[in-house]
Structure 1
């Protein structure tokens, strides 16, 4: 178990390294391996991923802070700390890229996950349900994997083992949605450092999904559906 937690903690360090490299590459206008300068456009996968994943990450950070105060279990608190730090760091990087690209952090007429429709040939219509990687957002959730207000309220009201199990279940759903989104950027984004970050998210969150499945089994529970 210690090795797994070391890996999760190391993701924080890797995220910091990505931040340095990404900032330098983007600020200089370097497109990476192809040698061509590239500034993403407003509705590009690069910009859409940065906006949507920033929102997705923010909820993971919030849930992690909630469970930290709802349990004394060191394993869950350690995992929550790693997730909160890693995703807050990555969120700051993505918002920083949007600033460097001169693009807004919110686009009023852009439905969540619209950028992923590029793979099927077109920009999603306003009001279309958010779906990616075969996952659809459940009613009341902004994007696939995200918790509803009611689920967040339940987490905030729970304590001890109940809070641990609900957090692990909600975060499992959250990671599954996040992995599908990051895989989309790894395929579609044109900014090399952003593709690298997206692939790093996939690898780290898949590892955490396995860890959380083990932690749920230890508590006599399982992921939800």
Structure 2
């Protein structure tokens, strides 16, 4: 396995929406959501946002290699409100992925419990004995040569859920450094993007839908 070197892309945060309670951004692939271990991994989405929004607070995370919509809070009230929406599965997240192989069915649900693959951390794995329930709805958008473009709607929010569920289907996400292999690994980035996030605004509860264009 090639030694990991953290080399995040440069550039100021792409702000999709901001107001007095929250900020939504388009996180690039290759940038941590929060600081990693050690000074060399201090650069991250929340640190970059604090330059312009020193009061910013974390609500949720995206994997290092995943791009797309993230929401951050600007007040403790907003952080609590949004955190509860994620906890109670009241948010709606839509991802786009390119996966290896031609998916033959049009849509489906993966319902497989997930747990930590302890000898191979941070990898996760399907585990029917001690795993936590995890469900992912998916729909085929189109075939692209010998690959497929899918729309993914996670019902639960387990670590690496989409990545492990697609591997279990036999269609790993292209460029996934942990779960893809062979030709599926040979891509410049992991082909997983958080395209859309639906939530209720912490001030008044109105519904919001924020989208970020798919970069692949």
Q: So what's the TM-score if we normalise by structure 2? A: 0.26
More strand by share: 2
